[in-house]
Chain A
Amino acid sequence: MNYTNSIKIAVNAIRRNKFRAFLTMLGIIIGVASVIAMLAIGQGSKKSIQDEMSSMGTNMIFVMPGTDQRGGVRMSASEMQTLKLDDVEAIRQSCPAISAVSPVVSSSGQAVVGNNNWPTTVYGVNDEYLGIRKYEVETGRNFSDREVQTYAKVCLVGQTIVENLFPDGENPIGQSVRIGTIPFKIIGILSEKGENGMGQDQDDLIMAPYTTVQKRMLAITYIQNIFASAASEGQNDEAIEQLSETLRRTHKIKAADADDFNVRSQAEMVQTFSSISDVMTGLLGAIAGISLLVGGIGIMNIMYVSVTERTREIGLRLSVGGRGNDIMTQFLIESILLSVSGGIIGILLGLGASAGVSAFMNWPTVIMPMSVIYAFAVCSLIGVFFGWYPARKAAALNPIDALRYE
């Protein structure tokens, strides 16, 4: 077998039928490109959700009071008063896997500066809370432990508050904002965080020492939540365990009884959201799979038709002395050339489409190398097989039948 000749014959055949070759490749190009782009969009949205979640701090742990499951009137979690400041102290003392812990009390109300007012939430926290929630102070300073101890009327404000209460662009630092009846002095501005995964504005808040909010605003002795931070991401489970044990001990819960609190971690949330976006990626993957199938059928059809319409050519080649093997080699080389170059163009087009989608529509895209390889392999194999299979049938024909084929 002379492969140089076979390659020459195949290349000549493609060269002479550029339009047919282009149509044949089109199926492969569209198939590969659409699968790559589709999966890139799916992966992109998954990654952006994950990034979003971890920007909220992946080693964050928070404690909510549990609902009252005991007899009598049962109460909802927000009315439970089981979490105390002592719990925070106990966690700080006996949980080595927890690096930071803060009590949280919150109060909704109207914030007023001069003629402007804005409904918002005031969070009463300690000085460690910023680190736990991955907030940063853009200008000014965080409040100090001493200010917490002395019930100081100081606060940090988010960007949304600045925009709404200081619309004329004056410097908020040092100014006073009144919440309810209590005036707070603004000592710092938080840097912008944007919306979280659920569309909640994370910049629409005011932070003040928990002592001030708890005693001066709410006049309560309990706290609503506890936020903590595991020393590292790997220590999440350990931290949750130590925290639960500590709370069971301080709350004097018997071994047989259920917790009167709930512990949730950001890692769990990330997992939940990841699994949601996995479903979405799966859906997009299924659509991509269908388009791959449709593309494959397209390739199949055009290959089959283009080989079938060349039956007379095959007959002629057989009659001038081409052997069945020569014919099959020619068609195999032709379909490999078409499939592979179509696949490469498809990859480039798919990468271009992904880049275009993220550039013009602002959708995040992530190219998965596996999807590129997979789409390329499937389309090329279909192309090669359906270029070769009908040719094999034609080459097995009697030369006369092939020549007389209409």
Chain B
Amino acid sequence: MSKKIIQVQELKKDFHVGDITVHALKGINLEIEEGEFVAIMGTSGSGKSTMLNILGCLDKPTSGTYSLDGVSMGGLNKNELAGLRNNKLGFVFQSYNLLPRTTALENVELPLYYNTRIRAKERRERALEALEAVGLADRMHHMPNQMSGGQQQRVAIARSLVNDPRVILADEATGNLDTRTSYEIMTLLQELNDQGKTIIFVTHESDIARFMKRNVVFKDGRIVKEEWVKDRFNAKQMLADLPVDQDVI
């Protein structure tokens, strides 16, 4: 049996907006094993983004427990959470969030600057490796505004890989991309998952969710459905089947 990398029990999160308390998460139980590829689905306001923020150690739950790779984040302070993000997590955002006027290579290097154990030479080597892994080694000196959306997102994926994280968290990572580019990104993520990376992917598109192994559906702060994907989409295959004129649309 493979290792449980994420364990969430009775997790609750409240937000206070003025006098009103919003219960964004109302008792979540979730376990994710190493090597899984999980879609967290739900409509806007379902609590999926809140869940991702907590899973990404960007936000703290109001109550309940969450342990990541055996570390319980209950008692950790801000700096320890930052260390956890730096060592164990990689983020991919919907709007890429690359530093402007900064080369692809330097963008990928960014997380390693905050890891004091890594020296300049190793930092450069690992960033290059990550860029090679996403097929952008030839673009390493390009600025974000010289690249397409798909290429920028691949740089962002390289950035999330560079610290060799236990879990990659993607937040609507294909939300800004057209179908073909989305499939390219999904191809890349499926390959990474095949190599053993655990990936959690937040999306509201059910057809994107079919690229993952397991879907967890949120509604009104609760998990309403959890299912293994049957007839899982193969992104590489679908990309090949895509009519050429798809680009034009």
Contacts and interface: CB of A to CB of B under 8 A. Distances in A.
Contacts of B78: 323-324
Nearest to B111: A320
A105 to B, nearest CB: 84
A147 B186 CA distance: 117
Contacts of B163: 321
Interface in B101-124: 101-102, 106, 110-111, 113-116
A214 B79 CA distance: 97
Interface stretch (B38-46, B83-91, B129-137, B212-220): B83-91
**Most chain B beta-carbon contacts within 10 A, residue among A316, A318, A321, A399:** A321
Interface in B67-91: 78-79, 82-83, 85-87, 91
Interface SS of A by simple majority: helix
Contacts, number: 65
Interface string A224-254: 0000000000000000000000000000000
Contact of A317 (B79, B110, B115): B110
Contacts of B83: 321, 323
Given A312-B97, A400-B59, A320 B91 contact: yes
Given A2-B116, A320-B159, A16 B86 contact: no
25 contacts: A2-B116, A5-B113, A5-B114, A5-B116, A12-B102, A16-B99, A316-B97, A317-B114, A318-B82, A319-B56, A319-B58, A319-B85, A320-B85, A321-B82, A321-B114, A322-B86, A322-B114, A323-B82, A323-B83, A324-B79, A324-B82, A325-B79, A326-B114, A400-B59, A403-B97
Contacts of B106: 12
B37 interface: no
A16 B100 CA distance: 8
Interface in A1-58: 2, 5, 8-9, 12, 16-17
B124 to A, nearest CB: 12
A16 B101 contact: yes
A108 interface: no
Nearest to B90: A320
B234 interface: no
A192 B93 CA distance: 83
A17 B100 CA distance: 9
A175 interface: no
B145 interface: no
Given A316-B99, A321-B115, A323-B78, 11 more contacts: A2-B116, A12-B106, A16-B101, A317-B114, A318-B58, A319-B85, A320-B86, A321-B83, A321-B85, A321-B86, A324-B82
B53 interface: yes
Contacts of A322: 82, 86, 113-114
B58 A320 contact: no
Given A321-B85, A325-B79, A398 B102 contact: no
B166 to A, nearest CB: 13
B82 A313 contact: no
A400 B79 CA distance: 15
Contacts of B82: 318, 321-324
Interface in A321-362: 321-326
Contacts of A317: 110, 114
Contacts of A12: 102, 106
Contacts of A318: 58, 82
Contacts of B86: 320-322
A12 to B, nearest CB: 7
B79 A320 contact: no
Nearest to B143: A16
B45 to A, nearest CB: 15
A383 B155 CA distance: 34
A359 B58 CA distance: 62
B58 A400 contact: yes
Nearest to A17: B101
A8 B113 contact: yes
Interface string A297-328: 00000000000000011011111111111100
A403 B93 contact: yes
B28 to A, nearest CB: 18
B87 A321 contact: yes
Contacts of A323: 78-79, 82-83, 114
Contact of A398 (B59, B87, B99, B114): B59
Interface in B17-74: 53, 56, 58-59
Contacts of A16: 99-102
Interface in A386-406: 398-400, 403
A400 B94 CA distance: 13
A317 B99 CA distance: 10
Contacts of B113: 5, 8-9, 322
A17 B85 CA distance: 27
A199 B221 CA distance: 89
Contacts of B87: 321
A319 B165 CA distance: 13
Contacts of B111: 320-321
Contacts of A312: 97
